A and B are shown apart, each in its own frame.
Chain A
Amino acid sequence: MKEQLEQIKLSAIGSIEKADTLSQLEELRVQYLGKKGELTLVLRNMKDLSAEERPIVGQLANIVREDIEKRLVLKKGLLESSEQNQKLQEETIDITMPGKGLSYGHMHPLEQTLEEIQRIFLGMGYEIIDGREVETAYYNFDALNLGEDHPARDEQDTFYITNDIVLRTATSPVQVHTMETQELPIRMIAPGRVYRSDEVDATHSPVFHQIEGLVIDKNITFGDLKGVLAEFAKALFGDKVEVKFRPHYFPFTEPSAEADVSCVMCGGSGCNVCKGTGWIEVLGCGMVHPKVLEMAGIDPNVYSGFAFGMGLERLTMLKYNINDLRLFYENDIRFLSQF
């Protein structure tokens, strides 16, 4: 009987090794271990053995069964994985075929730039304030130190609704409203539309967007203005950008400055965009004029602050090298989809 068991084992091992499909393997399992399998039949004949022989043969039979089972499992694993590999092979696709077009909408490039700028200032503790576009002449001019007879009042090409109501020429009136109503300290930016009677061309539009900024606190210095705006310029245009502040004049700031950044196109060596100067003017700024503080009810002996303003169209045109401002208001999808 022992020889019989050895025989079964050898034959089973050989067949299992040769099997190359899962169904063949299953047949082998039935053939050896099934209810009518060869091993089962042998065990069934155990009753004919003597009491001494029975445990020895029984033990051997168990070892043989375990061995066959183990080999079946092993082989099954091998066959399964090779069958899966085969299947995977068949399922191979051309991954260079185009993706299925899940279309999405693009935010307007001006709103994208605005959001980028807003994030920079939000990070520095500024809030965002919305202001009205149709303003009183008082807030657009007088409260910003531009009295009736101020020569600069004419330079602004103002649209009038009545003598006292105008379309704001800058976002600066929001400064005054904020100073009049908010608690100190103030850190805010005010983006929005402004209006000037410029004919439409590649670089002008009678309506465009500005972003105003204002900081009022104790001990604010001109150095702070330079520091904050330089950080801003680096955040927007990249760390490599250099910032230069030049003296300028605005009625509502003193001292006033214009800030240039090293040309974003050529890096300062001179190109078409910077007209060969290596610098591009990006914003106007200055220390809030003591008279403006006073008119808004803030004591200039205790508080100081700085203000700045920049054109959103201009910044966006620089950022993406857009050469015609009119594109922003045409809303051609082929333009919008580029951003």
Chain B
Amino acid sequence: MNVPMSWLKQYVDIDVDIKTFEDRMTMSGSKVEKIEESGKEITRVVAGKIIEVSSHPNADKLRIMQVEIGGEKPLQIVTAATNVQLGDVVPVALDGATLAKGLVIKSGKLRGEVSEGMFCSVEELGFDEKDIEDAPHNGVYVFNRPITLGSDVKPYFGLGEVVVEYEITSNRPDCFSILGIAREAAATFNKPFHFPEIKVNEVDGDAMGMASVEIKNDKLCPRYAARIIKNVKVGPSPKWLKDRLISAGLRPINNIVDITNYMLLEFGQPMHAFDYDKLAGHSIIVRNAADGEKMKTLFGDEITLDSSMLVIADQEKPVAVAGVMGGEDTKVTDETTTILFECANFNGYSIRQTSKKLGLRSDSSIKYTKGLDPNTITLALERAAQLISEVGAGEVVKGVIDVYPVKREKLTISYDIKWINKFLGTDLPEEEMIGYFKALEFDVNQQAKTVTIPTYRPDVTMMADLAEEVARLYGYDRIMPTLERGKPTIGRKNFEQLVCDDIRSFMSMFGIHGALTYTFESPKVFDKLNLDETSPLRNTLKITNPLGEDFSIMRTTTLNGLLSSLSTNYNRRVEDAALYEIGKIYVKDEDGQLPKEVKKLTMGMYGRKVDFFTLKGVIESLLKKLHVSKTEVTRNSELEFMHPGRCANLTINGVYAGYFGEIHPQTAKNYDLEVKTYVAELDLQVLLDSITQDITFKPLPKYPSTARDIAMLVKEEVLVGAIEKTIKERSGKLLEKVELFDVYQGKQIEDGYKSVAYKLTFRAEDRTLTDEEVQKVMKKVLNGLEMNCGAKLRD
């Protein structure tokens, strides 16, 4: 909301500087966003009178003029302007003047003759020719009204106005008007608020007899009022009105439109003018449109309506989309002689829906959307009528047509000084609070301890609202900060949060960086991941109004995010990258209920020192750190986006916990990763469920251990996992540790075979093991390996 200070000052006396004004308005709730001065870029342009004209000795098209600007000595200005003559008063840009579009004027010589400035056109002062009624076409402006020589020309053109822009919150529709802001300013500075004096000059007639108004849907239209204006003279507005609009950033158009805009600014009340003679049956019917009903807007576009939309119709057809836009057929033109001037109240929500559906927005619809007070209409319509006759735009026919089926009544609410003080943490006396209520024009009944709230303040409905009014006028900054002293609570993280902290610090230790990626993505990522058409991952939660395809589905795998980030790093020539993310996937509920949000721990890495077993090692260490046991790793060749020979499933206690391994070269290619890339996607909940929380101390060994190395030949397809399993099963309790230290294929090894070597460590808790004991176990182990794995012992 932009409010020119001069306009505001008409309704409230502000006697503080602009900085104080800004601070206090902001602190009372009308946040000042910006303060601008119109024509700020125009400097050192004054009025000057041409007192002597002579021709230029060296140029036919130039003339030399002596210009009086109120000083002792006239200026000499060389000009090419042809429309000025002796005696004219014109805007003169002095040496060093700045004009619109950054133009700077300097004294100098023109074809050998000194020129100490320049005459200005309205364009050079930042206007369009059309903005200024008496501006000549392509020429220097000549003042037609008196102006002091040497004085700044900006006030003459309505420039130099300080305009304050406020951020208006949606609970204060009343502040989308200059009067609303003026009321707030009056309350803030505790000054009287001068409501504009309204006197309507009516001419004889009978408005009510000339037109009829019928409201068919009083829910969407609580009030519809109108006046009839006859002998309309559409033409330019007087200067004061134009200046007002210009100062608020609007362009004057003609007197009727200008008055409508003026009302929109001053009262925040939209109005609409219909050409009375074109209204069939001279009647206004406020009704819902019929489905498929059509109308041409005043911009000439045909729109199709539906039955949810409210229209203003005459006896035959819709003539306006209520509160949104007028129709072409009944718009005011130069031929219009009689006007029906609408001043109505429509339901904001309905206007919003209609405006959205039609893709039509107007200054009126924006105002209505905020939710306006139907009681404003009474004075607004009178004010508009007053302006119509004041500016000579027409004659106001006697009588007001006013249909107001659903009245908005004033609300009376109780106040309790003690409660308000307790709620705010203040200790204000009753008189002070009542002072604030009165400053806000609330009617106070001190006996009954009630206040009656004006209907333009629908935000005040209960005591907490009164507390806010008190707080903001007293000053938020004056309320003492305290620390609450309630019943104590313990601040702590829950199990999951603590484990996530552990995971994060663990990842740091292993050189893996924390990543965060978007949780919605494009369905195209599934093709990038080479997913089968029938993959369940393609069954996603879809956003009905996405910002485009790239953000249109909620992710069902975290992989794309991490691969994309790795790709970003790779393509920016980062040689080694390791990332992890703890983030959610969203599993669609088939019954249309809320989806499951499942947390995943995702890792991804590439680089010079990274292979499958690096990633596997990280996972193994993580599981150990989290005290997760009973894990199993099995081959997974099924995932479309993973290398079929280098991907594994992790199960914990028999529950699937996720997969890890090298991504499929095709997937890597799709992500522009020309490097082997390893990823893991683990289910956080499965990890959480498997964490052993009670850790029991085991005494340190008292007796020495005995180690044995074995090397064996097995067929190359035998998994070392199977060998290890056999070793463990066969050696029983005495086995403390089994370490694989060599796998070898090549020279001296038969084709199709590999040599595998282990170190086995044995220990008993209660004695030193004898050679015979160890020998016995080893024999069992070797037999087992021979039987289960076809192993042949190597010497």
Q: Interface residues, chain A, CB within 8 Å of chain B?
A: 103-108, 110-111, 115, 118, 121-128, 130, 132-136, 148-152, 154-155, 159-162, 165, 167, 185-187, 193, 195, 197, 199, 206-207, 215, 217-224, 226-228, 230-231, 244-249, 251, 254-257, 287, 289-290, 304, 328-334, 336-337
Cβ–Cβ contact A247 & B27, under 8 A: yes
User: In the complex the two chains form, is A331's CB within 8 Å of B516's CB?
Assistant: yes
Select B481's contact among A103, A149, A223, beta carbons within 8 Å: A223
Specify the chain A residue showing the minimal Cβ separation from B350: A149
Q: A124-B491, A149-B349 are in contact. Are A333 and B371 (CB under 8 A)?
A: no
- A135 to B371 Cα, complex, angstroms: 28
Given contacts A111-B504, A134-B541, A227-B484, contact A105 B509 (CB under 8 A): yes
Is there an interface contact between A220 and B543, defined as CB atoms closer than 8 Å?
no
Taking a contact as CB atoms closer than 8 A, the residue among B348, B370, B514, B546 that contacts A159 in the complex is B546
Tell me, in angstroms, the Cα distance from A128 to B519 when the chains sit together. 22
5 additional contacts (CB under 8 A) given A185-B486, A219-B486, A221-B423? A122-B492, A154-B352, A224-B482, A248-B29, A329-B516
Q: C-beta contact mask, B345-360 vs A, less than 8 Å → 1, else 0?
A: 0011100100000000
Give the one of B170, B488, B569, B595 with max A CB within 10 A: B170
In the bound complex, what is the Cα–Cα distance between A224 and B347 (angstroms)? 39
Residue of A107, A206, A331 touching B565 (CB-CB under 8 A): A331
Q: Which stretch, B132-140, B438-446, B469-477, B774-782, touches the partner chain A?
A: B469-477
Q: Is the CB of A334 within 8 A of B574?
A: yes
Q: Is the CB of B510 within 8 A of A105?
A: yes
Q: Is the CB of A331 within 8 A of B476?
A: no
Tell me how far the C-beta of B525 lies from the nearest C-beta in chain A, rounded to whole angstroms: 15
Q: How many Å lie between the Cα of A160 and that of B545 in the bound state?
A: 6
- Complex contact B481–A227 (CB within 8 A): yes
Q: Is B592 an interface residue (CB 8 A)?
A: yes
- Give the interface segment out of B277-285, B311-319, B460-468, B731-739: B460-468
Flag if B489 contacts A106 (CB, 8 Å).
no
List 18 A–B pairs whose Cβ atoms lie within 8 Å, in order of A's numbering.
A103-B511, A104-B509, A105-B513, A115-B501, A125-B488, A133-B519, A134-B554, A162-B544, A185-B486, A185-B487, A185-B489, A226-B480, A228-B483, A246-B31, A246-B476, A254-B465, A332-B574, A333-B513
Q: Is B542 an interface residue (CB 8 A)?
A: yes
Do A223 and B482 touch (CB < 8 A)? yes
Q: Which residues on B sit within 8 Å (CB–CB) of A127?
A: 489-494
Which 4 pairs show the lowest CB-CB distances between chains A and B? Answer: A223-B425, A221-B425, A249-B169, A217-B486
Instruction: Say whether, besides A135-B594, A151-B170, A206 and B479 are in contact (CB < 8 Å).
Output: no
Pairwise interchain contact B371-A151, C-beta atoms closer than 8 A: yes
User: A185–B508 Cα gap in the complex (Å)?
Assistant: 37
Q: Is the CB of B493 within 8 A of A151?
A: no
- In angstroms, Cα B480 to Cα A152, docked, is 31
Chain B neighbourhood of A104, CB < 8 A: 508-511
Which of A124, A149, A244 has the most chain B CB atoms closer than 10 A to its own CB?
A149
Contact of B507 with A by CB under 8 A:
yes
CB pair A136–B594 under 8 Å, yes or no, is yes
Whether A215 lies near B484 (C-beta < 8 A) is yes
Q: Report yes or no: A336 in contact with B544, Cβ–Cβ below 8 A.
A: no
Q: How far is the CA of A247 from the CA of B369 in the complex (A)?
A: 23
Contact B511 A105 (CB under 8 A): yes
Contact (Cβ within 8 A) B489 A244: no
Minimal beta-carbon separation of A122 from chain B (angstroms): 4
Q: Is the beta-carbon distance between A121 and B491 smaller than 8 angstroms?
A: yes
- Bound complex: CA of A14 vs CA of B536, how far in Å? 96
B547 sits at the interface (CB 8 A): yes
Query: B586-608 interface mask toward A, CB cutoff 8 Å, 1 = contact, 0 = none?
Result: 10000010110100000000000
A184 to B, closest residue via Cβ: B487
B510-533 near A? 1/0 per residue, CB < 8 Å: 111111111110000000000000
Partner of B352, one of A151, A161, A244, A256: A151
Give the chain B neighbours of A332 by CB distance below 8 A. 568-569, 572, 574
> Is there an interface contact between A161 and B516, defined as CB atoms closer than 8 Å?
no
Stretch among B192-200, B388-396, B577-585, B750-758 lining the A interface:
B577-585
Q: How far is the CA of A264 from the CA of B479 in the complex (A)?
A: 24
* A126 and B516 contacting across the interface, CB-CB below 8 Å: no
Q: Tell whether A331 pairs with B594 under 8 Å between CB atoms, given A221-B423, A221-B425, A245-B477.
A: no
Determine if B7 is an interface residue (Cβ-Cβ < 8 Å): no
Q: How far is the CA of A104 from the CA of B464 in the complex (A)?
A: 52
Question: CB-CB < 8 A to A290: which residues of B?
Answer: 462, 464
Fill in one digit per residue for B154-187: 1 if any A CB lies within 8 Å of its CB, else 0: 0000000000000001111100000000000000
Contact A160 B514 (CB under 8 A): no
Q: Is the CB of A331 within 8 A of B569?
A: yes
Chain B residue nearest in CB terms to A281: B31
Let me know if B486 and A126 touch, CB within 8 A: no
CB-contact partner of A248 in B169, B501, B579, under 8 A? B169
Question: Known contacts being A199-B547, A255-B471, A329-B517, is A161 close to B464, with CB within 8 Å?
Answer: no
Given contacts A193-B519, A227-B483, contact A151 B369 (CB under 8 A): yes
Give the docked Cα–Cα distance between A270 and B165 (Å).
20
CB of B599 to closest CB in A, whole Å = 9
Q: A149-B349, A255-B464, A333-B569 are in contact. Are A206 and B171 (CB under 8 A)?
A: no
How far is B483's CA from A215's CA once the two chains are assembled, in angstroms? Answer: 12
Asked if A106 contacts B348 (CB within 8 A), the reply is: no
Q: Do residues B578 and A105 form an inter-chain contact, with CB atoms below 8 A?
A: yes
Say yes or no: A161-B568 contact (C-beta < 8 A), given A128-B497, A217-B486, A246-B27.
no
* Known A221-B425, A329-B518; contact A125-B490, beta-carbon cutoff 8 A: yes
Check if A217 sits within 8 Å of B483, measured CB to CB: no
CB distance from A89 to the nearest CB of B (A): 38
- Given A149-B348, A247-B27: A333 in contact with B486 (beta carbons within 8 A): no
B414 CB, min distance to chain A CBs, angstroms: 13
Closest to A129 in B: B494
Separation of A128 and B462 alpha carbons in the complex (Å):
32
A168–B510 CA distance with the chains assembled, in angstroms = 35
B28 on the A face (CB < 8 A)? yes
**Residue among B479, B488, B569, B578 making CB contact with A222, cutoff 8 Å:** B479
Contact A187 B489 (CB under 8 A): yes
Is B625 part of the binding interface, using a Cβ–Cβ cutoff of 8 Å?
Answer: no
Q: Which residue of B lies closest to A290 (CB)?
A: B464
Residue contact B595 to A134, C-beta cutoff 8 Å: yes
Q: Quick check: is B623 within 8 A (CB to CB) of the other chain?
A: no
B551 contacts the other chain (CB 8 A): yes
B597 to A, closest residue via Cβ: A132
Q: Which residue of B lies closest to A247 (CB)?
A: B29
- B residues near A159, Cβ cutoff 8 Å: 543, 545-546
Q: Does B481 contact A226, Cβ atoms closer than 8 Å?
A: yes
In the complex with contacts A110-B516, A197-B547, A304-B423, A133-B584 CB distance below 8 A:
yes
Known: A134-B597, A135-B594. A223 touches B479 (CB 8 A): yes
Q: Does B619 contact A (CB under 8 A)?
A: no
B462's closest neighbor in chain A, by CB? A290
Residue from B347, B483, B516 whose CB has the most chain A CB atoms within 10 Å? B516
Chain B: CB-nearest residue to A164: B592
Tell whether, in the assembled complex, residue A336 and residue B504 are in contact, meaning their CB atoms are under 8 Å apart: no
Assess whether B565 is in contact with A330, with CB atoms less than 8 Å apart. yes
Complex-state Cα separation, A271 to B441, whole angstroms: 40
Query: In whole angstroms, what is the CA distance A206 to B543 when docked?
Result: 12
User: Is the pair A207, B520 in contact by a Cβ cutoff of 8 Å?
Assistant: yes
Is B422 an interface residue, CB under 8 A from the partner?
A: yes
User: What are the residues of chain B within 8 A of A126 when measuring CB–CB?
Assistant: 489, 491
The contact of A230 among B481, B486, B511, by CB within 8 Å, is B481
B26 interface residue per 8 A CB criterion:
yes
Which among A110, A151, A231, A334 is the interface contact of B483 at CB below 8 angstroms? A231
Tell me whether A108 and B515 are in contact in the complex, defined as CB-CB below 8 angstroms, given that A159-B546, A160-B545, A223-B426 are known contacts.
yes
Please name all residues of chain A whose beta carbon is closer than 8 Å to the beta carbon of B592 when the two chains form the complex.
Answer: 162, 165
Which residues of B are found within 8 Å of A222, using beta-carbon distances?
423-426, 467, 471, 479
